[in-house]
Amino acid sequence: MDPGRWNEPVTFETQRLGQCRTIASADDAARGLLMDWPVHSGHAFIKAQKACLAVLGGRETPEAAREAFRTATEEAGMFVRDS
């Protein structure tokens, strides 16, 4: 089992109207934040990047990264689906 996998994925609407994306691990979140995020600044954005990379380095829990990622989606103004 992937140690970076989240107990509950985060599904959000992308910049393309009606298109959603589901992120289920710190690895997926880090890739999304680094390569395909609509904003490239902000406190929550930077915190989420650091949290995801810390999980991959074994220094943080996956759920802490999930929470940071969820906050970054809000900061970016993305609609997040409830699970």
For 36-64, how does the pLDDT look when each residue is reduced to its tens digit (9 = 90+)? 899 999 999 999 999 999 999 999 999 99
Average of per-residue pLDDT across 5-23 = 91
Say yes or no to pLDDT of 1 above 60.
no
pLDDT averaged over every residue in the chain: 92
How far apart are the C-alpha atoms of 21 and 4, rounded to whole Å? 18
The band of 24, judged by pLDDT with boundaries at 50, 70 and 90, is: very high
Token pair 């759920």: residue: 63
The band of 18, judged by pLDDT with boundaries at 50, 70 and 90, is: confident
